[in-house]
Chain A
């Protein structure tokens, strides 16, 4: 056997599984996006070709643009908070005693292990307006009048609550990974810089940052990918009975148009647009992956 075929043979299983499972659905998604495909079509197993009409109607829908803008802001807020807080926790982990570190790590692991479906239940139970523990705690701490406070009164607050949930769930992954990266920063370098009288911010910028930048980049890119298309948390936490165009995120928009209104062609078109938008947003990530992907 020629050595040249070896890499292909190694890649074949992954490619085969992915191709077998995603190949047809991807083709079908593209075909659907060019068809009028409603409940009648679903039953007949046959849609009507309408060209780019679905894309046209999405792009002319002001709800789409509002949703896109909202989702971009939402993603930025979520990813920003996750990364900043995650980095801070990681930096803290370096500085604390071993027993506290073990405790915090164990706590992070516990959070990480909680399935989103469960987390949503716990969240809505804690933020319940009548006897949620959050209102009680805030009232006890005299932070204002939180008696029977409704945390979901406006779209802004609904999405804010979703953000707290998502950031809380995402922090362990980010903090633990970054902590591990930080532990690779040479100790001597940091100490030397500190003895030289360098401010901690400079030490962080010149010594620590270069080491953790690649990790940060990848974590940020992955977080963007995940948060932009998020569905389960907003859908369950805000609740189907409160999903209105004013609080749509892209994942929900696809669901409402494609599934709830059984307009599968339109849903497919929105899905493809999302794919394009996410791809555009992660060009940096992809380029980096290709560059470092080279074999030395």
Chain B
């Protein structure tokens, strides 16, 4: 009785909520927007190239506008999954090269094989990069850019220790690092080379350098091969190299930056606590004002004199989700964005372009002469998410398990994961 007025108001509110949701559901997004998901790398590194592509596209397609939505690596796949479930995927999506296989196998992307001629330089794409976006002979992803791994170092320290030219072999590099370390031994906690022990991109470079591999496919099944003779030789060499070139810090194992309280390698560089980092070529961005002038790079040498150690080739593809309703426009946009002008501009920003005829002679590009890539298995992403290789490296570096034991456990785990549930 007493609150009757309020009750009526309440009922009215409830009704209007229902009506509002009901009417809202009838609306649909406007038809002439091309939605593009790029990673924040583009937003921070080359927004101008994106803008140029968009204006070219909009000029060629009157009535269309491009909505570029920048995503983060940590959440973009979960978001993509949600859009697949909700049938409102973007029209173009940037995928990390190791993320492609799972989605290609599931049929998440449009087959671009017949549109290949539309993409500039597609005949001259780097073969490794073409492989990322190819599944069972069909093309689903257009190579966007790549990055190799190089040594970023303090030229003043190396010079002072008497080394004026980049080392020719791994052994030489190691002894140079040890010498630089001795020179700076008064600096507490100084590491001649600062690299994360659990940085599997580094460690597996050694495995591939010694002819090893992660997993192979035969007789319809995946087999883990990190415990093969050659792989073990690589892992042992990595352990020895790591022990010789790192300070005896307790925090040995990770240098991935975000999370878990470990700094990025270049932050340590910036603090004057290391003479060198091994990582993407863009590390030069962040070595600090104090050392900008003495920051230089070379290709990390192999244990075989005169060769480069195989580096992990990271990179991105552009794909058109199968649910996109503007596929031909999406392809046009990708063609613009990976056209010669764009790719040349990307090269200028320190990336490896997608085609051989566009390659320059930067350290980054030279390092790519020998590279390795992860097994192209549907479940490879799960191996990465499960941090299986990192766990192995932690075990073998801390001595918790012998190299062989750790590698065997990881191998079994990898085979099990790759063969799926």
Contact of A149 with B251 in the complex, beta carbons under 8 Å? yes
Q: B390 near A: Cβ within 8 Å?
A: yes
- Count, A-B residue pairs, CB within 8 A: 148
Interface pick from B207-215, B218-226, B257-265: B257-265
B10 touches A148 (CB 8 A): no
Q: Which of B108, B189, B263, B268 contacts A43 (CB 8 A)?
A: B108
| B401 → chain A closest CB, angstroms | 14
Q: Which residue of B lies closest to A129 (CB)?
A: B251
- SS of A interface (majority): helix
Interface window among B61-69, B368-376, B379-387 = B379-387
Given A12-B14, A259-B78, A130:B273 Cβ within 8 A: yes
Is there an interface contact between B385 and A150, defined as CB atoms closer than 8 Å? no
Residue of B nearest to A11 (CB): B10
A 39-87 contacts with B by CB, 8 A? 39-40, 42-43, 45
* Contact in complex: B386, A244 (CB < 8 Å): yes
Chain B residues positioned under 8 Å from A3 (CB to CB): 1, 4
Question: Would A124 and B14 be within 8 Å (CB), given that A129-B249, A148-B189, A150-B253 are in contact?
Answer: no
Instruction: Confirm or deny: B84 has a beta carbon within 8 angstroms of a beta carbon on chain A.
Output: yes
Q: Give complex CA distance A98, B18 in Å.
A: 51
Interface residues of A in 251-265 (CB under 8 A from B): 256, 259-263
Could you mark each residue 378-398 of chain B with 1 if its beta carbon is under 8 Å from any beta carbon of chain A, else 0?
000110011100110000000
Take A10-B7, A12-B11, A16-B17 as given contacts and tell me if A128 and B103 are in contact as well, using a CB distance cutoff of 8 Å: no
Determine which of B13, B259, B261 lies in contact with A236 in the assembled complex, contact meaning CB atoms within 8 Å.
B259
Complex alpha-carbon distance, A129 and B385, angstroms: 24
Q: Is the CB of A124 within 8 A of B259?
A: yes
Query: Does B162 have its Cβ within 8 Å of any Cβ on chain A?
Result: no
Question: Min CB distance, B304 to chain A, in Å?
Answer: 31
B87 on the A face (CB < 8 A): yes
Set of chain B residues within 8 Å of A242, measured between Cβ atoms: 254, 259-260, 387, 390
**Pair A16/B261 contact, Cβ less than 8 Å:** no
Query: Are A10 and B260 in contact, CB atoms less than 8 angstroms apart?
Result: no
Are B4 and A6 neighbours in the complex by a CB distance under 8 Å?
yes
| Cross-interface CB contact of B250 among A10, A39, A153, cutoff 8 Å | A153
Chain B residues lying within 8 Å of A13, measured Cβ to Cβ, are 10-11, 13-14, 17
Q: Are A6 and B259 in contact (CB under 8 A)?
A: no
Which residues 7-39 in A have Cβ within 8 Å of B in the complex? 7, 9-13, 16-17, 20, 38-39
Residue of B nearest to A158 (CB): B260
Report if A115 contacts B (CB, 8 A).
no
Collect the chain A residues with CB atoms within 8 Å of residue B84's CB: 42-43
Check if A241 sits within 8 Å of B249, measured CB to CB.
Answer: no
**Cα-based distance from A296 to B101 in the complex (angstroms):** 64
Q: Which of B6, B253, B322, B391 contacts A244 (CB 8 A)?
A: B391
- When each residue 80-117 of chain B gets 1 if its CB lies under 8 Å from chain A and 0 otherwise, what string results? 01001101000000000000001100111000000000
B74 located at the interface, meaning its Cβ lies under 8 Å from any Cβ of chain A in the complex: yes
**A243 closest partner in B (C-beta):** B387
CA distance A238 to B11 in the complex (A): 47
Q: How far is the CA of A78 from the CA of B270 in the complex (A)?
A: 37
Smallest distance from the beta carbon of A160 to chain B beta carbons, Å?
12
User: What 0/1 readout, one digit per residue, does chain B (238-254) give for beta carbons within 8 Å of chain A?
Assistant: 00000000010111111
The smallest beta-carbon distance between A288 and chain B, in angstroms, is 26
Contact with B along A161-200 (1 / 0, CB 8 A): 1000000000000000000000000000000000000000
Q: Which residue of the partner chain A has the closest CB to B102?
A: A39
B44: interface (CB < 8 Å): no
User: In the complex, A169 Cα to B43 Cα: how many Å?
Assistant: 33
Q: A20-B21, A256-B385, A260-B382 are in contact. Are A151 and B256 (CB under 8 A)?
A: no
Q: Does A156 make an interface contact (CB < 8 A)?
A: no
In the complex, which residues of chain B have a beta carbon less than 8 angstroms from the beta carbon of A130?
A: 189, 251, 262-263, 267-268, 271, 273
Question: How far is A3 from B5 in the complex, measured between Cα atoms in Å?
Answer: 11
Asked if B11 contacts A9 (CB within 8 A), the reply is yes
Contact with A along B278-309 (1 / 0, CB 8 A): 00000000000000000000000000000000
Question: Using Cβ atoms and an 8 Å threshold, which residues of chain B touch A245?
Answer: 386
Q: B60 an interface residue at 8 Å Cβ cutoff? A: no
A260: which B residues are within 8 A, CB to CB?
Answer: 381-382, 385
Contact B74 A240 (CB under 8 A): yes
A131 within 8 A of B: yes
A162 vs chain B, min Cβ distance (A): 11
Residue among B4, B102, B108 with max Cβ neighbours from chain A (10 Å): B4
Known: A11-B10, A130-B267, A237-B259. 15 other contacts (CB 8 A): A6-B3, A9-B11, A10-B10, A13-B13, A17-B17, A39-B103, A39-B106, A43-B108, A43-B323, A129-B251, A130-B262, A131-B271, A148-B189, A148-B247, A260-B385
Sample of 23 A–B contacts (CB below 8 Å): A1-B8, A3-B4, A13-B17, A16-B17, A20-B17, A39-B102, A39-B103, A42-B81, A42-B85, A45-B85, A124-B258, A124-B261, A128-B263, A129-B251, A130-B273, A148-B189, A150-B250, A150-B252, A237-B259, A237-B260, A256-B386, A259-B78, A263-B421
Binding site for B on A (CB under 8 A): 1, 3, 5-7, 9-13, 16-17, 20, 38-40, 42-43, 45, 124, 127-132, 147-153, 158, 161, 236-245, 256, 259-263
6 A-B pairs with the lowest CB-CB distances in the bound complex, closest first = A239-B259, A150-B251, A129-B251, A9-B7, A39-B106, A148-B249
